[in-house]
A and B are shown apart, each in its own frame.
Chain A
Amino acid sequence: MIGVGIRGVTKSYGALPILRGIDLTIDPGEFVVLLGPSGCGKSTLLNIVAGLEPLDDGAIEIAGEDMTHADPSKRHLAMVFQSYALFPTMSVRQNLGFGMRINRVPKAEIVRRVQSVAALLQIEPLLDRKPAQLSGGQRQRVAIGRALVRSTRLCLFDEPLSNLDAQLRADMRVELRRLHADLGSTMIYVTHDQVEAMTLASRVAVINRGKVEQVDTPQKVYDRPATLFVARFVGSPAINLLEGVLMADRRFRSATGATVDLSGYAFASTPRPGTEVVLGVRPDDVRVAEAPARRGDALSAVPAFTESLGPRSLLWLELDGQRWSMYVDAKGGAIPTGPFEPGFDAADASLFDKTTGVRL
């Protein structure tokens, strides 16, 4: 188990900056997921950690040693690629043993380790097939097997599940968690799928346009997004947003004059009245106000339509010109049919500076 330090890494292709100062410390044994939209530079960062791409500035430390300019082979890590990158002319057995053959590991040892990894991933019957004779899920397993077989203490994954169907993806997620628990190696995992990030990570690093926006546990990232971008990117259905200004008495006022009492909100610093802000509330936190204030300036929502999700339904609302959503009980629970006053706990809400996008 080894830790990884990414220190102020920058990278541009030509004049186009891709990574703009990435700092990230990964502790030994952690499962860190790099989450971000397509094209934000996740693969580039992973390739830099692996030593497959040069960086412009900054440093990479692996196990406390400076590896910024070390060859990939010197970094003692394994990597699973998005396209699997199995060697097409080699059998599964040869694919798994390739790295060890190159590194002159004794034959008997290679056989033993290939056998044990094949058993672990249940690919023994496939050992003598060529990659072209495997299904997507099987190739996936072989690719993971090739990364595990050398028992490196650091594994990098670049969207390894993105080519699989939903069912297989769910199975593989469980399997990856189990592998991480069993092997205990440090893992850095790139994805743009937030469900993967939420279920796999011990910590998630959300990346946007070449910068880390937040590094936290999945729950923290979901509950306390550090920026407006994180709030929007994480969570499905998306977070409910409402623009407005902050008033003197810790009240929020929307463009149409509706106000929300935010005295229960944990401000990061003393709020400055007059700041333009965006209020965010997760759909799970919205409910029908139990004790409606019945003031003229209360929030008012109009139900638009419902989406059935089995035990619960998702109710879409029209609120101050914004589309909001909330969960309602499909059975028994009263589904509002006319305009009503929605409520939520200010402590569960998030408030962002509209210009900087930073959490207040």
Chain B
Amino acid sequence: MTRTSDRERRRDPARIALYVFLLASAAFFLLPVVVVVLNSLKTMDEIRQGSLLALPASPTFDFWRIAWSSACSGIECRGISPGLFNSIKIAVPAVFLSVLVGALNGYALSQWKRPAADRIMLAITFGLFVPYQCMMYPTIVLARTGGLFGTYPGIVLIHVVYGIPYTTLLFRNFYAGLPDELTKAARIEGASFLQTFGHVMLPLSVNMLVVVGVLQFTGIWNDYFLGFIFAGNENAPMTVQLNNLVNNTRGEVAINVNMAATILTALPTLLVYLLSGRYFVRGIAAGAVKG
């Protein structure tokens, strides 16, 4: 393709219209984020006087600091920083375990060529479509019986268990798309099931591991419901603390602090997306054309 034809294409009215449309959609979806960011940098007075979209006169990160370390929720005034550590403490092992177990399950199910395997897969898929709110009561009873309710291992386990159907399904489809002969070759070479998985299949699934990991991380980080019910007070994740802070009824509603706290809570998932972007796009593409 020559340079001129490239340039001509860029001037093509249809193409310009396309860009305008894309930019407009991007702006539309970014608007709430812009509002949140702008207002987290303004004082309350400024917010009350001006429009939500006005630029801050003298931007300040004071309210971010307050949201981080001294905003009050209920009786405590420690900001949402303890929540960050709780969320990390919950999300990291839960993501790790649910992805690993999902990959192992998915590989096993992709290799197991019996009608029973399809039936199990169907049951797992069914598990995906049942809203977990429906299963809350029995889950709580089970967790209580096992002494896990309101504990740290409890909340991690709950996330792992609820994540497994999803990760298993994704990995099974990924592994089913890989050539069967790879597994056969490894078996001929003397590798056991776990050795084949560890030496041949896992290294092949790096992109997939990142994609599923990011999706799981986002899901677990943004979870409020399970954390609220199962984590107990001292393990409450960031989302729960954010909610407590925003719903704190004492005193004036500090919109700027709330917005700053919201940004802080959302920041880790944004970071994860940005850092994994390259793998993420590759993994999704790989999934699309089956590797």
In the assembly, what is the distance between CA of A48 and CA of B267, in Å? Answer: 55
**A82 neighbours in B (Cβ, 8 Å):** 181
**A99 neighbours in B (Cβ, 8 Å):** 188-191
Given A98-B199, A102-B195, does the pair A85, B189 have CB atoms closer than 8 Å? Answer: no
Query: Contact at A72–B187, with CB atoms within 8 Å?
Result: yes
B186 within 8 A of partner (CB): yes
Given A98-B199, A102-B195, does the pair A85, B185 have CB atoms closer than 8 Å? Answer: yes
In the assembly, what is the distance between CA of A150 and CA of B188, in Å? Answer: 11
Choose one: B179, B182, B190; the contact of A103 (CB below 8 Å): B190
In the assembly, what is the distance between CA of A90 and CA of B200, in Å? Answer: 8
Choose one: A71, A83, A102; the contact of B189 (CB below 8 Å): A102
B203 within 8 A of partner (CB): yes
In the assembly, what is the distance between CA of A98 and CA of B204, in Å? Answer: 15
Query: Contact at A52–B184, with CB atoms within 8 Å?
Result: yes
Query: Contact at B204–A88, with CB atoms within 8 Å?
Result: yes
Query: Contact at A77–B188, with CB atoms within 8 Å?
Result: yes
Query: Contact at A73–B190, with CB atoms within 8 Å?
Result: yes
**A78 neighbours in B (Cβ, 8 Å):** 188
A166 to chain B, nearest CB (A): 24
List residues 203-225 of chain B with CB under 8 A from any CB of chain A: 203-204
Query: Which residue of the partner chain B has the closest CB to A143?
Result: B185
- With most chain B CB atoms within 10 A of its CB, the pick from A47, A50, A51, A89 is A89
Query: Contact at A81–B181, with CB atoms within 8 Å?
Result: yes
In the assembly, what is the distance between CA of A235 and CA of B243, in Å? Answer: 81
In the assembly, what is the distance between CA of A82 and CA of B73, in Å? Answer: 65
Query: Which residue of the partner chain B has the closest CB to A83?
Result: B181
A87 within 8 A of partner (CB): yes
In the assembly, what is the distance between CA of A312 and CA of B9, in Å? Answer: 60
In the assembly, what is the distance between CA of A59 and CA of B185, in Å? Answer: 22
**A72 neighbours in B (Cβ, 8 Å):** 187-188, 190
Query: Which residue of the partner chain B has the closest CB to A86?
Result: B185
Q: In the complex, how many residues of chain A place their beta carbon closer than 8 angstroms to a beta carbon of chain B? A: 25
Query: Which residue of the partner chain B has the closest CB to A152?
Result: B188
**B192 neighbours in A (Cβ, 8 Å):** 73
**A161 neighbours in B (Cβ, 8 Å):** none
A134-160 vs B, CB cutoff 8 Å, 1 = contact: the mask equals 000000000000100010000000000
**A118 neighbours in B (Cβ, 8 Å):** none
List residues 41-88 of chain A with CB under 8 A from any CB of chain B: 47, 50-52, 71-73, 77-79, 81-83, 85-88
By size class, the interface of chain B is: 10 to 19
Query: Contact at A79–B190, with CB atoms within 8 Å?
Result: no
Interface majority SS on A: helix, strand, loop or mixed? loop
Query: Contact at A102–B179, with CB atoms within 8 Å?
Result: no
In the assembly, what is the distance between CA of A50 and CA of B184, in Å? Answer: 9
In the assembly, what is the distance between CA of A65 and CA of B138, in Å? Answer: 54
A114 to chain B, nearest CB (A): 14
In the assembly, what is the distance between CA of A91 and CA of B139, in Å? Answer: 47
In the assembly, what is the distance between CA of A348 and CA of B188, in Å? Answer: 45
Query: Contact at B185–A81, with CB atoms within 8 Å?
Result: yes
Choose one: A50, A83, A86, A102; the contact of B191 (CB below 8 Å): A102
**B188 neighbours in A (Cβ, 8 Å):** 50, 52, 72-73, 77-79, 99
In the assembly, what is the distance between CA of A232 and CA of B173, in Å? Answer: 43
**B195 neighbours in A (Cβ, 8 Å):** 102
Query: Contact at A85–B179, with CB atoms within 8 Å?
Result: yes
In the assembly, what is the distance between CA of A87 and CA of B186, in Å? Answer: 9
Query: Which residue of the partner chain B has the closest CB to A81?
Result: B181
Choose one: B179, B181, B184, B189; the contact of A98 (CB below 8 Å): B189
In the assembly, what is the distance between CA of A90 and CA of B195, in Å? Answer: 14
> 10 smallest A-B Cβ distances: which pairs?
A99-B189, A85-B181, A85-B185, A89-B203, A73-B190, A81-B181, A72-B187, A79-B188, A102-B191, A102-B190
Measured CB to CB, the residues of B under 8 A from A are 179, 181-182, 184-192, 195, 199-200, 203-204
Q: A78-B188, A85-B179 are in contact. List 18 more A-B contacts (CB 8 A).
A: A52-B188, A72-B190, A73-B188, A73-B190, A79-B184, A81-B181, A81-B184, A81-B185, A86-B185, A87-B185, A88-B204, A89-B204, A98-B189, A98-B191, A99-B189, A102-B195, A103-B190, A146-B185
Measured CB to CB, the residues of A under 8 A from B are 47, 50-52, 71-73, 77-79, 81-83, 85-90, 98-99, 102-103, 146, 150
Contact sample, A vs B, 25 pairs, CB 8 Å cutoff: A50-B184, A52-B184, A52-B187, A52-B188, A72-B188, A73-B187, A73-B190, A73-B192, A77-B188, A78-B188, A81-B184, A83-B179, A83-B181, A87-B182, A87-B185, A87-B199, A88-B204, A89-B203, A90-B203, A98-B186, A98-B199, A99-B189, A102-B189, A103-B190, A146-B189
